Amino acid sequence: MSRTVFTGDKPYFPDVDQIKHEGPGSDNPLAFKTYDPERVVAGKTMEEHLRFAVCYWHSFCATGGDPFGPGTRVHPWTVNGDRLANATEKMNAAFEFFTKLNVPYWCFHDFDMAWEGESVAESEKNLQAVVDLAKERQKATGMKLLWGTANAFSNPRYMNGAATNPNFEVLAYAASQVKAAMDATIELGGENYVFWGGREGYACLQNTDTKRELEHFAMFLEKARDYGRANGFEGTFLIEPKPMEPMKHQYDFDAQTVIGFLRHHGLAGDFKLNIEANHVTLAGHTFAHDLRMCTDAGLLGSVDANRGDPQNGWDTDQFPSDLYDCVHGMMVVLEAGGIGNGGFNFDAKIRRESTDLNDLFIAHIGGMDSFARGLVIADRILSDSRSSELRFDRYKSFDSGDGSRFENGDLDLVALRDIAAKNGEPRQISAKQELVENIINDYIVRGEC
């Protein structure tokens, strides 16, 4: 479906119309080549499968600054008015962008939409003023909120963490922000609420009580969950793992770490994971690996769709363009039956050197086409009977007889020993890795998508 295009008093992208699907033959940089919201793949439309979201922070706040120099882009929506006038213009630009790109969802942090005040009460008032605006624009356009979150990592007070800060006063301050951001998410009908660990971690083991900090973290999440549920939040709470940066050691290292933490503290019923591709690669895994760890646990909540750079060990937050990664990722998502009430959020920033206003459109179009191609190709691969045969036939020895008795817990160590003694040297079963890789590559080039 197409969203109603929104423009404020003055359009910020006057040269761009709503982006349309023109097909693989098109060389128009402002058109989709594969992503077609109405196209049906594996029983659902692309829009339903992918539930794309645009993020507020990189796309409308970041201007391309890095540790060696200031921003390179001047946002025309940054006006010299008061803070509310600025926030309003930024929101107008954002809703114009969302609706021209024709994505169904968006995501925010409290202080990318609003601005921090001198006190808790003032910050709450600032956020409420901006939520009122967002509510109107959502109503006018049909845009929906995929998730909201609180930025409890930028302000210097959070230098030692938020929920894991050794100072209780800082923890309480962070709670005030989470409460307000959750109120905002509820008011805007958000389908999820995200906790990224920010500075939840440590730099020096000798001055840190890790056990106590992790217990505080769990308690904080529990109280946030209770508040959300008591106040009408029916969506999913999401934890977003990241192994490092800003802290040297971050508690939410990767998917398996977070799954263990959630289960240990009895939080897995309300919390799932938001997997960001770049964070997974920082943890030394592949995007598809962490997705699979989540789907195996029934805890895949949502995806931050971006990528890192294989030569760099930091969070480059580039737009996803690696088709191989998108295919593998979508195979995991499709096999698990889809992304549920999560989505694919472009937590990605255009490069510092990309300075044209329409580069923001080009980047998102590329990301959407990459995941749409990933979806189409993944579906074709999974529909080829060889895909499941190659995986599941390897485990056939557990389907019946002694293998199945083992899975049921009916064989003890002595019984296993006796079976080994009777059978002698096991026969080899080829893993056929090269064949699997060849099949995937064949489908990447076979057939139009």
- Given the rule CB under 6 A, which residues bind ligand XLS? 109, 149, 194, 196, 240, 242, 276, 304, 315, 347
Residue 60, contacted partner among Ca ion, ligand XLS, none, CB below 5-8 A by kind: none
- Hey, how many other C-beta atoms are within 10 angstroms of the C-beta on 205? 10
Closest separation in Å from C-beta 258 to ligand XLS: 14
- β-pair partners for 1: none
Q: Which of 191, 213, 315, 325 binds Ca ion (CB under 5 A)?
A: 315
**CA–CA gap between residue 308 and residue 286 (Å, rounded):** 11
Residue nearest to ligand XLS (CB): 196
CA 332 to chain centre: 15
Token representation of residue 141: 């356009």
User: Using the rule CB under 5 A, is 347 a contact of Ca ion?
Assistant: yes
Smaller CB distance to Ca ion: residue 62 or 120?
A: 62
Closest separation in Å from C-beta 197 to ligand XLS: 9
- The radius of gyration of the chain's CA atoms, rounded to the nearest angstrom, is 24
Token representation of residue 386: 């060889």
Residue 194, contacted partner among ligand XLS, Ca ion, none, CB below 5-8 A by kind: ligand XLS
Q: Is 312 exposed, middle or buried (0-12, 13-18, 19+ CB in 10 A)?
A: exposed
Which element (helix H / strand E) includes 108?
Answer: strand 105-109
Closest separation in Å from C-beta 149 to ligand XLS: 5
Please choose, out of 109-117, 298-306, 322-330, 416-424, the segment that lies near Ca ion by the rule CB under 5 A. Answer: 298-306
Residue 90, contacted partner among Ca ion, ligand XLS, none, CB below 5-8 A by kind: none
Q: How many CA atoms lie within 13 A of 168 on its CB side?
A: 1
Smaller CB distance to Ca ion: residue 110 or 347?
A: 347
Of 193, 115, 180, which Cα lies nearest the Cα of 148? 193
Residue 183, contacted partner among ligand XLS, Ca ion, none, CB below 5-8 A by kind: none
Whether 252 sits among the annotated catalytic residues: the reply is no
User: Using the rule CB under 5 A, is 110 a contact of Ca ion?
Assistant: no
Residue 369, contacted partner among ligand XLS, Ca ion, none, CB below 5-8 A by kind: none
Token representation of residue 189: 């009908």
Site string (240-279) toward Ca ion, x via CB under 5 A: ------------------------------------x-x-
Options 49, 75, 110, 112, the catalytic residue:
112
C-beta separation of 252 from 258 below 8 A = yes
SS3 101: helix
Closest separation in Å from C-beta 429 to ligand XLS: 41
Smaller CB distance to ligand XLS: residue 194 or 331?
A: 194
**CA–CA gap between residue 222 and residue 208 (Å, rounded):** 22
Of 147, 144, 149, which Cα lies nearest the Cα of 127? 149
SS3 21: strand
Smaller CB distance to Ca ion: residue 63 or 358?
A: 63
| Measured CA distances, 133 to 7, 89, 110, 143, 353 (Å) | 13, 11, 14, 13, 32
Options 109, 216, 279, 285, the catalytic residue:
109
Closest separation in Å from C-beta 57 to ligand XLS: 6
C-beta separation of 195 from 240 below 8 A = yes
Smaller CB distance to Ca ion: residue 92 or 278?
A: 278
Smaller CB distance to ligand XLS: residue 217 or 443?
A: 217
- Dump the DSSP string for 38-74: T-EETTEEHHHHH-EEEEHIIIII----BTTB--S--
Whether 17 sits among the annotated catalytic residues: the reply is no
Residue 149, contacted partner among Ca ion, ligand XLS, none, CB below 5-8 A by kind: ligand XLS
Residue 283, contacted partner among Ca ion, ligand XLS, none, CB below 5-8 A by kind: none
Which element (helix H / strand E) includes 32?
Answer: strand 31-32
User: Using the rule CB under 5 A, is 317 a contact of Ca ion?
Assistant: yes
Smaller CB distance to ligand XLS: residue 53 or 377?
A: 53
Active site members = 109, 112
| Binding residues for Ca ion (CB under 5 A) | 276, 278, 304, 315, 317, 347
